[in-house]
Amino acid sequence: MLAINKKWIIVILLVIIRILTLQYYASDSNRYTDPLNVIPGYTFRDIKDSCTLIKSGISPYVSYNIRFPVLFLALFNDWCPYTKSKELGLFLVLILLDLATALLILDYHENLDITEEFATSKSDSVRSYVSFILFVGYLFNPIGVYTNISLSFGPIINQLLLVLLLWFSNKTYYGNKRFFLPIIYSILIYFSSINFISLLAPLIYCYSISDNISRNDSNFSTEYLDIKSKKNKVSYLIINTIPKIFKSMNNIYSIIWSRVFTFIMLFSISLCIFHTLSLLIIDSMNIKDYINRFFWHIITFNNHDTLTPSLSIYWYIMTVIFPRFKLLFQMLFGVYTLLIIFPLIFAFRNTPTKIMETTIVMVLFFQNHPTLINYTLCLYLILFDFSSHKETHYSRFITGLLSLNIVGLSLISNIRHIWLVENRANANYMYSICIIIQGSLLLLTREWIHLAYRKQLEISKDKFLKVKHE
């Protein structure tokens, strides 16, 4: 295992090298609107346009194109007007945010064995090296570097908040830092609007359970084994076992419902505070206009999305279907992630961090405007489990899918440039690359979930046999 001092010396050196990428920074406005690296409405160009409107005495929220939350946009007011040196300062801030995300992923993977017994079948030294290699890869992958250069605040802030939720869900299992989960989630919803509302159910579940509840669940198996060992099973069941089980279940459900109520209250209060402050900052907008600007168009699925070619099939479907069917497809895109999440919660109900991992991957994969850096986070979460397991009977298949995905991610930007800028290709080339990327990632996710679920069943079986022999 890497020594702590040695490891952090290496981390500091890597950070210095990462900051030296500033020498490759060059102002290019075309990067600010690339849909493969930015989220529409959250680009650096939108920030510059909003500063121009503010300077002219016009509210930047008269247009639906600018979606930056009021509190976040207020942080940039002091940077107007922008200069080259200030852009370099913003680029450095994004590098620090990216570094914080990488360090959180490193710490999360190194401490995952505390709560995830099935997370590894290898030694801690191997897992430490694997997590450190993934940390280096995340910090220096070309997609992340290019996203920094594009000053893509939207994807990078979303990525950091998602990893924070994942990190706190690991700590939450023991009751530590439970208070921060609903607050961080409220910031994510405030920043990203409706995109990550599907995370509400798994977060409530992770917030509500604890190791005490898990121990009570194991007591049910012990009580069942006690019944089998008694001669007069019926009388023992009526007199001793049933009252104990009902008492334990009553205690469990009272704890769970109190935590569910606490989570919803903390989340609602935090979100209300953020929007109240935003309404106070915008002097030219009353409550009715504010609700219509930030809520009503979301509820009515009138999201004003720019249908520019991206990694998602959302833009393609919306450009080819008849206008009368668009509302139906928007509703389907808005609710189908909920249909996927509840089976995942049931399958990994004993391992909360695995619920968060699989849910985040599915939400990032199926969102309307995924970016390249979103797909890299999915790959790093998936690769850690595959590289930490002994089972290699289908490693060739996994390697092939991974290679196909990396090739697709490498080609997509060039294909889009050849199609839209140089006009030397047609849209079918980009459709094909998108299918390769999405298909290979979907198959990787399927194998990853199957491996984790099968390993969890083996661990549960071993626990039951251990209790039975005792």
**Which pLDDT score, from 0 to 100, does residue 114 have?**
45
Tokens of 179: 């208070």
- CB 110, CB 7: distance < 8 Å: no
The two structure tokens encoding residue 287: 């409550």
d(CA 123, CA 126): 5
Q: Which residues, at least 6 apart from 25, have a Cβ–Cβ distance to it below 8 Å?
A: 88, 91, 149
As a whole-number percent, the residues of the chain with pLDDT over 70 amount to 69
Name the one residue in this structure whose structure tokens are 């209790």: 467
pLDDT for res 115: 44
Identify residue 102 by its one-letter amino acid code: A
Confidence of residue 64 (pLDDT cuts 50, 70, 90): low
User: Is the pLDDT score of 268 beyond 70?
Assistant: yes
CA–CA distance, 345 with 205 (Å, rounded to integer):
8
**CB 392, CB 406: distance < 8 Å:** no
Is 269's pLDDT higher than 90? yes
Q: Measured between alpha carbons, how far is 376 from 439 in angstroms, rounded to an integer?
A: 15
CA distance 40 to 349: 35
Q: What is the pLDDT of residues 305-361, one digit of tens each?
A: 556 667 777 777 777 777 777 777 777 776 777 778 888 888 887 788 888 889 898
* Cα dihedral sign, 156-158-161-164: negative
* Cα–chain center distance at 192: 12
**Mean pLDDT in residue range 27-37:** 64
More confident residue, 175 or 46: 46
CA distance 393 to 115: 26
CB atoms within 10 A of CB 235: 10
In SS3 terms, 167-207 reads as HHHHHHCCCCCCCHHHHHHHHHHHHHHHHHHHHHHHHHHHH
Structure tokens at 296: 């009503």
- Tell me what the mean pLDDT of segment 386-395 comes to: 60
Backbone phi, psi, residue 325, to 5°? -100, 0
pLDDT at res. 227 = 44
What per-residue confidence (pLDDT) applies to 119? 44
In tens, the pLDDT along 212-239 reads 444 444 444 444 444 444 444 444 444 4
Q: What is the pLDDT of residue 178?
A: 76
C-alpha triplet 307, 313, 314: angle, nearest 5°:
45
Q: What's the confidence (pLDDT) of residue 183? A: 92
Q: Give the Cα separation of 87 and 96 in Å (integer).
A: 14
- What pLDDT does residue 236 have? 45
Residue (of 7, 3, 181) closest to 106 by Cα position: 7
Structure tokens at 219: 């007591």
Rounded CA separation 390/119 (Å): 11
Is pLDDT at 206 greater than 60 in this prediction? yes
Of the two residues 416 and 204, the one the predictor is more confident about is 204
Q: Mean pLDDT over residues 446-469, rounded?
A: 72
CA 247, 251, 257, 260 torsion-angle sign: negative
pLDDT value, residue 113: 54
Q: How many CB atoms lie within 10 A of CB 439?
A: 14
Residue 249 amino acid letter: M
CB 165 within 8 A of CB 381: no
Residue 108 pLDDT: 85
Read off the amino acid at residue 116.
E
